Structure 1
Amino acid sequence: MQVVKIAKRVMRATIPPALFIALTGYFGWNVMRGEHGLHSYATQLHLLDEARSAQQDATAEQEVWLRRVRGLKEGALDTDLLDERARSMQNLARQDEIVVPYAEHDHLY
């Protein structure tokens, strides 16, 4: 009987602290590496920074395209400049025009 009492006493003395340590370890692991833990939080912050950077890039690109589209409106186009640019891009000239050749490194545009 003495052995059984000693075994019960040892069990009563070790099981609650062991369960508490196991429960503390479980929650500690989840705080660090769980689905909503600190590592996941850091990952989410990194993804948020990337998303904000992508949004800024998209906004800048959108502004460039809006400026280009505004330049295509009828009131914004100068027909002489448009004609000059189109003919220089296509290397075309009329017979009554004087052509001034430029070197390869001297670009008009």
Structure 2
Amino acid sequence: MRIGKIIRRIVGSALPPALFIGLTAYFGWNVMRGEHGLHSYAAQLRLLDEANSAQKDAYAEQQVWLRRVRGLKENTLDRDLMDERARSMENLARQDEIVVPYGPHDRLY
């Protein structure tokens, strides 16, 4: 009987701290590595930065295309510029024209 009381007393005094330590460890692990923990939060921030970067790139490309499309509207087209551009792309020139060569990195438009 005496051994049973001693075991009961040891278990009774050790069980609450052991449960508390176990719960603290469980919640601590979830705070760090759980589905909504700090590691997941850092990964989500990296994904957000990548998405913002991709959005900026897409917006810049969209602006380039909008500028090109606006240049194709009927009231903005200049026949001389179209003729010059078509001949420069085909590498043709008339005899009465002056040809100004451009470097390989210079833009014509």
Instruction: Please state which band the TM-score falls in when normalised by the shorter chain.
Output: 0.7 to 0.9
How far 1:2 moved relative to its partner?
A: 1.1
Farther-moved stretch of structure 1 (39-48 vs 21-30)? 39-48
Matched residue, 1:12: 12
Number of positions where the alignment pairs a residue of Structure 1 with one of Structure 2: 107
Identity %: 65
Structure 1 length normalisation: TM-score?
Answer: 0.86
**Residue number in structure 2 paired with 1:59:** 59
Deviation at 1:98, TM superposition (A): 2.4
Alignment of 1:96-107 (within 5 A): 97-100=95-98, 105=103
Gap runs ≥5 in structure 2: none
Q: Deviations over 1:44-96 (max 9, x none)?
A: 111111111111111111011000000011111110111011112102234xx
For 1:91 and 1:8, locate their aligned partners in 2 and report how far apart those are by CA, in whole Å: 100
The one-letter amino acid of 1:47's match is L
Name the CA distance, whole Å, in 2 between partners of 1:99 and 1:108. 20
Q: Which runs of structure 2 are paired with 1:26-105 in the superposition (5 Å)?
A: 26-94=26-94, 97-100=95-98, 105=103
Q: SS of the counterpart of 1:61? A: helix
CA–CA distance in structure 1, aligned partners of residues 77 and 40 of structure 2: 53
- What TM-score comes out, normalization by structure 2 length? 0.86
Q: Structure 2 vs 1, CA of residues 80 and 104 (structure 1 numbering), >3 Å: closer, same or farther?
A: closer
